[in-house]
Amino acid sequence: MNYREVETEAEYVARLETGAEWRSEIEGLAAEVEADAAWFTALGAVSDAEVWFYDQDDYEYYPVTVDEPLEVASCVGNVSWLEGERFAHTHVVLSGPDGEAVAGHLNEATVFAGEVHMRVFGGELERAHDETTDLDLWL
């Protein structure tokens, strides 16, 4: 297990802009507040979304695309550095009008309404390729 103690430097709340890309908005907030490492939660609604499922046998992401309005029932993630850029690793549970859910790694979604709470840590977190999982994980 790879772990370390982190200290909270600041906390922010933000409203995401309607029509913007969900993850880009979170990455933009992180850049604006100079967060090199953070944890966030969010909720709201999106107009469409693409979530990814990581197949542990194939070592490949498979997309699930939904082109209709969805509630963001849960959204959690973290901010770290990946290939020299801030990356919002984001997982979501989205629900449609019938209450059925789609969940996974959020690749992209168009914001209808969104609210975020971000807790910024001191120091930075960086991702690098992990041979065992074929994923980019924290160092």
What residue numbers bound the domain in which 50 lies? 8-125
Q: Please give the model's pTM, rounded to 2 decimal places.
A: 0.94
Q: Are 108 and 50 in contact (CB under 8 A)?
A: yes
Whether 2 is in a domain gets the answer: no
Give the DSSP H/E element, type plus range, for residue 81: strand 70-82
Considering the domain boundaries, does residue 131 fall inside one?
no
Residue 62 covered by a domain: yes
The count of structural domains within the chain is 1
| pLDDT one-digit tens code per residue, 32-66 | 999 999 999 999 999 999 999 999 999 999 999 99
Question: What pLDDT does residue 35 have?
Answer: 97
User: What distance in Å separates the CA atoms of residue 89 and residue 45, rounded to the nearest whole number?
Assistant: 18
Q: Residue 106's closest CA among 118, 86, 89, 127?
A: 89
Is 72 within a domain? yes
Contacts of 55 (CB under 8 A, 6+ apart): 61, 62
**Residue at 3 is within a domain:** no
List pLDDT tens digits, range 99-137.
999 999 999 999 999 999 999 999 999 999 999 999 999
Q: Using one digit for the tens of pLDDT, what is the confidence trace for 73-105?
A: 999 999 999 999 999 999 999 999 999 999 999
Helix (H, G, I), strand (E, B), or coil: what is residue 97? Answer: coil
CATH number of the domain at 73, please. 3.30.1330.80
